[in-house]
Amino acid sequence: MRSPSTARAALGFLFAAALVIGLTAAVLPRTFYDDFPFAAHWVELLPPYNEHLVTDVGGLYLGFAVLFAWAAWTLERTLVRAVCVAWMLTATLHLVFHSGHLAGFGTADAIAELATLAMLLAPPPVAIWGVSAAAARPG
């Protein structure tokens, strides 16, 4: 159902995902590289380790977490659209990169990784749809 609560749920999911990824990469960059996601070791299959790059990625994700929380709190249409479009661009480029770099992954891990990355593209349109519906309703 189209509603502000649908938009908040989608933005909340993206906030949680960005927060977990961002905190792990920013605070524990070596752990992020060696074990992410949750001891699946997908990141380490794309060597070499670079602490600077990993902590920068953590900061990027934490920045998105802040914007998703802000958007969920205010449901300001312009903010929701902007953060969701920015996320879809970033997530699409991330998925395209990983789609072409699956050497070293077992079949199950390759499928799981691509499915997980693709799943992160679903909530933004839902959030945009939710705030658009709320704005279209007569007051």
Q: Which residue has the higher pLDDT, 108 or 41?
A: 108
Band of residue 51 on the pLDDT scale cut at 50, 70, 90: very high
Q: What percent of the chain has pLDDT over 90?
A: 82
CB 83 within 8 A of CB 71: yes
User: CA of 31: how far to CAs of 10, 39, 50, in Å?
Assistant: 28, 9, 12
Is 89 in contact with 57 (CB distance < 8 Å)?
Answer: no
**Which residue shows structure tokens 């990141």?**
43
| Confidence band for 133, pLDDT divided at 50, 70 and 90 | low
Residues 6+ apart with CB under 8 A from 26: 55, 58, 59, 61, 62
Q: How confident is the model at residue 47 (pLDDT cuts 50, 70, 90)?
A: confident
Helices in the chain by DSSP H: which ranges? 4-27, 29-35, 51-74, 77-99, 107-119, 123-136
Residue 64: burial class (beta carbons within 10 Å; 0-12, 13-18, 19+): buried
| pLDDT digits 0-9 by tens, 11-23 | 999 999 999 999 9
What percentage of the chain reaches a pLDDT higher than 70? 94
88-129 confidence digits (pLDDT tens) = 999 999 999 999 999 999 999 999 999 999 999 999 999 999
> Do 125 and 84 form a contact (C-beta atoms < 8 A)?
yes
Q: How confident is the model at residue 135 (pLDDT cuts 50, 70, 90)?
A: low
